Copies of this chain bind each other. A is one copy, B any other.
Amino acid sequence: MTQIDFLLGSWIHGSLPSGGALNITSLSANLNASTDAPNFLLELIQRTQTSLILILDLPPRKDLILNPEYLKTFYEQTKLDSLRQKLEHLPEVRPYFSPSLYIRAVTSPTAIMVRVDTEGGAPGRMEEIVGEHISPVAKEAMDIWLSQCACGERSLDEEERKYLEMRGEVTKRKTVEIDLSTSFPRLFGEDVANRVVGVIREVYKV
């Protein structure tokens, strides 16, 4: 039986009041309560040709402080942090701090949250970074997620399953709330925001 609850891929394009355009590409994969393994999240936010924000993470589904074994299994032993380190070495890459404290809290200690800035660099440098660095790192993260999260077996009791469902509900509601109440209406206007979030709500069942 599949352990995947749902996959959500989206590409959002909008014109900004300031004159530029905004492109957000995102892919999230959520597991169901038959496993407690982390979910998968990839988000690319592009405002200009020379700037990119990348969020790539396997967000945990349990409190890592009360579950040190979980931290060890999914984050230490998988060596996920080495992927973050690979990108960190590029001179165009700097850590990115989301203005949303919730997003910072919901991500894992190995989350890749970076801003890429190629302004003043050679033409095509952004494409080079995406193709030669970000893409392989994202594929490696996806491989780790597929082999060790989506396809791994975990034995859970009823109480743990209920906890995962409850925590999943909270994070889905909160994601919708953040998208709906902050970024989307400002970027796309009320109408488009409501339509997009309507679809997300359907997938999320919240």
Residue tally, chain A, CB below 8 Å to B: 24
A81 CB within 8 Å of chain B: yes
Does B106 contact A110, Cβ atoms closer than 8 Å? no
Query: Which of B71, B81, B84, B105 contacts A64, CB < 8 Å?
Result: B105
Does A101 contact B105, Cβ atoms closer than 8 Å? no
Would you give the shortest CB distance from A64 to chain B, in whole angstroms?
4
Chain A 100-115, CB-CB to B under 8 Å as 1, else 0, gives 0110111011100000
- Complex interface: chain B residues within 8 A of A104 (CB): 109
Would you give the shortest CB distance from A166 to chain B, in whole angstroms?
8
- Complex interface: chain B residues within 8 A of A188 (CB): none
Does A105 contact B95, Cβ atoms closer than 8 Å? no
Does A71 contact B110, Cβ atoms closer than 8 Å? no
Does A65 contact B101, Cβ atoms closer than 8 Å? no
Does B105 contact A65, Cβ atoms closer than 8 Å? yes
Q: Is the interface of A mostly helix, strand, loop or mixed?
A: helix
Q: For the complex formed by this chain, how many copies does it contain in all?
A: 2
CB under 8 Å from chain B, chain A span 16-67: 63-66
- Complex interface: chain B residues within 8 A of A68 (CB): 102, 170, 174
Would you give the shortest CB distance from A141 to chain B, in whole angstroms?
16
Would you give the shortest CB distance from A38 to chain B, in whole angstroms?
13
- Complex interface: chain B residues within 8 A of A110 (CB): 101
Does B63 contact A101, Cβ atoms closer than 8 Å? no
A171 CB within 8 Å of chain B: yes
Q: List 24 A-B pairs, Cβ < 8 Å.
A: A63-B65, A63-B66, A64-B102, A64-B105, A65-B105, A65-B106, A65-B170, A65-B171, A65-B174, A66-B170, A68-B102, A68-B170, A68-B174, A71-B101, A71-B102, A71-B105, A75-B101, A76-B101, A81-B97, A81-B101, A84-B97, A95-B95, A102-B109, A105-B109
Report which A residues bind B (CB closer than 8 A).
Answer: 63-66, 68, 71, 75-76, 81, 84, 95, 97, 101-102, 104-106, 108-110, 167, 170-171, 174
